[in-house]
Amino acid sequence: MLNKVFDQLSNNGYIMTPCNNKAPVLSAWQTLQNNVIWKTQYPKHNVGIVLGTKLVAIDIDVMNQKCANAILEEVVNRFGMDVLVRQGKAPKLLVLFKTQDNDEIIKKHKIHLSDEFGGKHQVEI
């Protein structure tokens, strides 16, 4: 997998890391730069795209459909209809944003929520 997407992601400025499933295989992966040798060392590994500089995500880890929809509606109201949404285990959602080209790292934020039934949820930015 990595060898198929390496050039396109790298040429578009994304920093990536080889992964086993979701787990990065390299130590200090957060600070590494793309290395073309990964195409031959890890050709069939999954690809993790490092978030925080060129790409930011809002991870809606909410198992209540009504609540997940309300959060997504708020995201769309604030940022516009052209957001990229990926659905994982329904109704969880991941919303991705490409940022301006700069090297400023956007730090992770977590928001803890409870629904009317006492269910615990979180949104990570």
Find the farthest-apart pair of alpha carbons in the chain and give their distance in angstroms, rounded. 51
Question: Any idea what DSSP says for residue 64?
Answer: -
Pair 36, 2: CB distance under 8 Å = no
Q: What is the pLDDT of residue 61?
A: 94
> Are 60 and 111 members of one domain?
yes
> Are 62 and 103 members of one domain?
yes
What tokens does 45 get? Answer: 């590994």
Q: How many CB atoms lie within 10 A of CB 83?
A: 14
Whether the predicted model's global pTM rises above the 0.75 cut:
no
Q: Could you list the pLDDT tens digit for every one of the 125 residues in the chain? A: 888 989 998 888 888 999 999 899 999 998 899 999 999 999 999 999 888 767 888 999 999 888 899 999 999 998 877 778 888 889 999 998 877 766 667 778 999 988 788 888 999 98
> Are 65 and 114 members of one domain?
yes
- State which residues form the domain around 61: 56-124
- Of 42, 36, 33, the C-alpha closest to 1 is 42
> Are 44 and 63 members of one domain?
no
Q: How many domains is the chain built from? A: 2
Q: What is the pLDDT of residue 103?
A: 66
